[in-house]
Each structure stands twice: as C-alpha cells, then as structure tokens.
Amino acid sequence: MTPKERKDLQKLDDLVLNATSDELKKIQEIDHQTQLEGVSFFDVYLDSRSLIHKNIKKQSRKF
C-alpha cells in the first residue's frame, strides 16, 4: 500500500469513526449498494470523496 493509499484509508476510517448514527446508516446504504454493483466502498470513496461525504451529511440531516 502506498503512502497516499494509507492516507486515503485513514480519511475513510475517520469519516466512519466520527459519523453520527444517521451518517453511519447512510454509509451502510452506500456500502451495500457498492457491493451489489461489485465495487468497493473504498474505491467509490476515492473517486468521489467530497461527493460521498456531502451526501452522507446531507442525508443524515433530513432525518
């Protein structure tokens, strides 16, 4: 694993560890959907990091 991959994985870990219960539900939904599509949540997170983070925050505030 490269240093950049480690840094990105740490950011993803921080996102999960610091998420509220509503945000965790959204993360779980995204993770489930990516598994159904045959891709990993980590890969999707890397490709659209800010989009996923914003969507999780936005969705969790609707509840």
Residue 63 has pLDDT above 50, yes or no: no
For the chain, the three-class secondary structure string (H helix, E strand, C coil) is: CCHHHHHHHHHHHHHHHCCCHHHHHHHHHHHHHHHHCCCCHHHHHHHCHHHHHHHHHHHHHHC
- Residues 17-46: pLDDT tens digits? 999 998 898 889 888 988 898 988 888 877
Residue 51 has pLDDT above 80, yes or no: no
Average pLDDT over residues 1-5: 86
User: Can you give the pLDDT at residue 21?
Assistant: 92
